[in-house]
Structure 1
Amino acid sequence: SFFTVEEREAVIAAVRAAESETSGEIVVSIATASHGYPQAATVGGFLLGLPLALLAMPWLGSFLWLGQGNVWIFLICLTFFYLPLRFLVAKTPALKRLFLFTEQVEEEVGEAALASFYSHQLDATRERNGVLLFISVFERRVFILADKGVNERIETTCWRGMVDSLTAAIRHGDHGPAVCRTVTDIGAVLRQHFPPRPDDQNELSDLMVAPDYAAPVSA
Structure 2
Amino acid sequence: MKTLSPSDLVAIEAAVRKAEARTTGEIYCVVTEESSHYGETAIAWAAAVALLGPALLLLLGVHVSVPDVFATWTASDVGVAIESGIRHALIGAIALQAVLFIVTALIVSIPPVRRALTPRSLKRLRVQRRAAEQFIAKNLHLTRARTGIMIFVSLGEQMAELIADDGIADHVEPHVWDRAMAALTEGLKRGQPEAGFAAAVGLCGDVLAEHFPPRPGDNPNELPDAVVVLPKP
- For structure 2, the residue ranges without an aligned partner over 5 or more in a row are 65-83
- Comparing 123-132 with 31-40, greater Cα deviation is found at 31-40
Structure 2 counterparts to residues 66-215 of structure 1, below 5 A: 70-90=89-109, 92-197=110-215, 198-206=217-225, 207-211=227-231
Residue 37 (structure 1) aligns with: 38
| 1:17-32 correspondence to structure 2 within 5 Å | 17-32=18-33
Q: Which moved more, 1:136-145 or 1:17-26?
A: 136-145
Matches within 5 A, 1:54-73: 58=60, 70-73=89-92
Question: More displaced, 97-106 or 148-157?
Answer: 97-106
Higher deviation after alignment, 45-54 or 131-140: 45-54
The farther-off stretch of 51-60 and 15-24 is 51-60
Answer yes or no: is the 8 Å Cα contact 2:53–2:93 preserved in 1.
no
Aligned to 1:189, what secondary structure does the other structure show?
Answer: helix
- Between the aligned residues of both structures, percent identity stands at 26
Aligned length: 208
Structure 1 residue 34, shift from structure 2 partner: 1.9
Give the root-mean-square deviation of aligned CA atoms.
2.6
Q: Which string of whole-angstrom CA distances, capped at 9 and with x for unpartnered residues, describes residues 128-162 of structure 1?
A: 10000011122221101000110111101111232
SS, match of residue 182 in structure 1: helix
Q: Secondary structure at the match of 1:98?
A: helix
Alpha-carbon contact 2:180-2:201 (below 8 Å) kept: no
TM-score (norm 1): 0.83
1:59 shift after superposition: 8.5
- Structure 1 residue 21: deviation in Å? 1.0
Query: Aligned equivalents of 2:90 and 2:184: distance in 1?
Result: 50
Deviation of residue 54 (structure 1)? 5.8
Q: CA 1:150 to 1:45, structure 2 compared with 1: closer, same or farther past 3 Å? A: same
Q: 3-state SS of the aligned residue for 1:26?
A: strand
Q: Deviations over 1:34-87 (max 9, x none)?
A: 22222101123345556688657858889xx959x9343222112113213313
**Larger radius of gyration, structure 1 or 2?**
2
Name whichever of 5-14 and 100-109 sits farther off.
100-109
